[in-house]
Amino acid sequence: MKVHFLGTAAAEGFPGLFCRCAHCAEARSRGGRDIRTRSSALIDETLKIDLPPDTLLHMLRDGLDLGKVTDLFVTHTHSDHLRAEELEMRLPGYAHGVEHPLRVYGHDGVVRKCREAIGRPGDDRVAIRRIVPFETIDTGEARVTALPANHDPEETCLLFHIEKDGKTLFYGHDTGLLPEETWTWLSARRLDLVILDCTNGNLPFTGGHLNIEAVLGIRNRMRDGGMLEEGARMVATHFSHNIGLLHADLTAIFDPEDIIVAYDGMVLQV
């Protein structure tokens, strides 16, 4: 299973879109892994998680053929994770040579936002389906189970457990501390790759996102609970510029913990 990290920033990007703080200025100066766009991931070129406003940039930067994507799983409706208007670009008149529908999965708010954005029937190009927590979707290539997140109390934000080619992945952002019902479901599984929100870095924990301490706590609970396969890897991602930590700062913190710091364009083979 090939996991391609397309974007690794929080909502404002890193450097922030309009920000002139010292940390954003330093990131602009350094470039490379210190430039982070809004979060998304692509698995084996056909399964995508989230559709952020930087999707066109991701396609151009990494040479992607998004016409290959068959399934799009959306975590929640926040603008850094879902720019639903982009789905219209897959309809006739905009996209040519597309021979299969893009199946879009999300909770009721995601479904509503996507249907409003398309503005016309298009199931032959974009087929939108509502999913609920603990529902498993068999895409034909992967089994994806939606799990409850602890992020926005106004909507049913989702995390995803993905099984493919004998490997398992937990996509764990955006979220604060995992709900106990999510822990209960995960406790019966063993994971090869865990991807966690680290929006708050070394700032105090705020509830809707994780910080470094919370990431380590989840890692420890998974390890102590026997949820990690031998050789399992853990990744921290979704960083805010407000934490003031550039890529080298983050690796200095996480490398001793054997946790990978994601960067835009990073590819892992699981």
Which has the minimum average pLDDT: 26-35, 89-98, 261-270? 89-98
Q: What span, in angstroms and rounded, lies between the C-alpha atoms of 231 and 218?
A: 17
Compute, in degrees rounded to 10, the torsion defined by CA atoms 32, 72, 237, 196.
Answer: -160
The pLDDT value given to residue 122 = 61
Pair 239, 250: CB distance under 8 Å:
yes
User: Residue 164: what pLDDT?
Assistant: 98
Query: What pLDDT sits at residue 163?
Result: 98
Residue spans per domain, the chain: 2-269
Evaluate if residue 123 carries a pLDDT over 80: no
Query: 200 is written with which tokens?
Result: 């708050």
Per CATH, the number for 2-269 is 3.60.15.10
Q: Which long-range contacts (CB under 8 A, 24 or more apart) does 215-222 make?
A: 215/259, 216/257, 216/259, 217/177, 218/172, 218/177, 218/178, 218/194, 219/194, 219/257, 219/259, 221/183, 222/186, 222/191, 222/194
Quick check: 120 pLDDT over 90? no
The chain-wide mean pLDDT, for the chain, equals: 96
pTM value? 0.97
